[in-house]
């Protein structure tokens, strides 16, 4: 992929699920392109490992923000926003990568508590986090928010339960936000990475040969495109990584 260097120089970008398969590669790619990345995840040891890798590579010093999205309450998001405000004064980007599948189950047998948990992590948390970050995103000259979606968010499929519903809801929220901020300098888009070689995918399709799948490294440029000024006229859209990579 032929990108200019330092496409994200000076930008401050928060990434959820930063220690996950896709989130980690997105975080490293953004840092490599000059961004200060705020790594949000629930396991401090994984975040610290990623922090060290970014620092040792000589990229801008990242920050770590441990938060469990299943148990986080509205005041936790307010606190996060306040702390980022004090530290950085603004936010230029927000990428939602964190998600949980919760297992594939027919609705007839779907555990109610699991339904709540999946919707909490995959939908309520991105809603609360985005809402809390809006004042900081407004402080940016041009901000970009990316929701990571899935094909089952666009087209319902049996057994995907709360995961599918959460992604459909995210896609709806994305359009709503894009319309509400149409005349402002914050853009919102959904990105579907499609089948990618991560633990997430392996858990759902244990019999699949992972070598047949694209790596997170292959799809990271699609996130970079949506975060960079190259996409500054684009909002309220839904893309697959493949669609964007073909354009680049």
Ligand X SMILES: NC(=O)c1ccc[n+]([C@@H]2O[C@H](COP(=O)([O-])OP(=O)(O)OC[C@H]3O[C@@H](n4cnc5c(N)ncnc54)[C@H](OP(=O)(O)O)[C@@H]3O)[C@@H](O)[C@H]2O)c1
Nearest approach in angstroms of CB 103 to ligand X is 13
User: Which of residues 62, 102, 126, 193 is near ligand X by CB under 6 A?
Assistant: 193
Nearest approach in angstroms of CB 181 to ligand X is 22
Nearer to ligand X, 83 or 203 (CB): 203
User: Which of residues 27, 32, 196, 235 is near ligand X by CB under 6 A?
Assistant: 196
Q: Structure tokens of 166?
A: 């959460």
Binding mask 42-61 for ligand X (x = CB under 6 A): xx--x---------------
Confirm or reject binding of residue 22 to ligand X (CB under 6 A). yes
User: Which of residues 21, 60, 161, 221 is near ligand X by CB under 6 A?
Assistant: 21
Distance separating alpha carbons of residues 182 and 186, to the nearest angstrom? 8
Greatest pairwise CA separation for the chain in angstroms: 52
Confirm or reject binding of residue 102 to ligand X (CB under 6 A). no
Confirm or reject binding of residue 150 to ligand X (CB under 6 A). yes
Distance separating alpha carbons of residues 208 and 92, to the nearest angstrom? 38
The DSSP output letter for 109 is G
Confirm or reject binding of residue 219 to ligand X (CB under 6 A). no
Confirm or reject binding of residue 20 to ligand X (CB under 6 A). yes
The DSSP output letter for 121 is I
Q: Can 163 be counted among the known catalytic residues? A: yes
Q: Structure tokens of 228?
A: 């960079």
**171 membership: H or E segment, kind and range:** helix 161-180
Stretch of 78-86, 94-102, 154-162, 221-229 lying at the interface with ligand X (CB under 6 A): 94-102
Cα 134 from chain centroid (whole Å): 16
Cα dihedral 155/134/73/11 (nearest 10): 90
């Amino acid at each position: 992929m032929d990108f200019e260097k330092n496409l994200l120089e000076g930008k401050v970008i928060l990434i959820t699920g930063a220690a996950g398969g896709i989130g980690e590669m997105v975080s490293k790619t953004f840092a490599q392109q000059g961004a200060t990345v705020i790594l949000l995840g629930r396991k401090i040891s994984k975040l610290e490992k990623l922090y060290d890798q970014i620092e040792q590579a000589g990229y801008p010093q990242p920050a770590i923000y441990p938060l469990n999205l299943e148990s986080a309450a509205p005041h936790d998001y307010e606190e996060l926003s306040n702390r980022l405000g004090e530290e950085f004064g603004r936010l230029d980007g927000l990428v939602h990568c964190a998600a949980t599948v919760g297992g594939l189950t027919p609705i007839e047998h779907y555990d109610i508590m699991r339904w709540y948990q999946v919707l909490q992590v995959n939908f309520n948390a991105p809603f609360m986090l985005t809402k809390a970050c809006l004042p900081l995103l407004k402080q940016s000259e041009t901000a970009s928010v990316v929701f990571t979606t899935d094909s089952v968010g666009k087209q319902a499929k049996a057994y995907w339960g709360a995961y599918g519903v959460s992604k459909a809801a995210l896609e709806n929220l994305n359009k709503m936000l894009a319309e509400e901020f149409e005349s402002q300098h914050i853009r919102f888009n959904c990105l579907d990475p499609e089948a990618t070689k991560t633990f997430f995918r392996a858990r759902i399709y244990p019999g699949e040969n992972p070598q047949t799948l694209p790596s997170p490294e292959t799809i990271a440029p699609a996130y970079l495109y949506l975060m960079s000024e190259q996409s500054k006229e684009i909002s309220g859209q839904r893309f697959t990584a493949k669609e964007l990579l073909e354009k680049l």
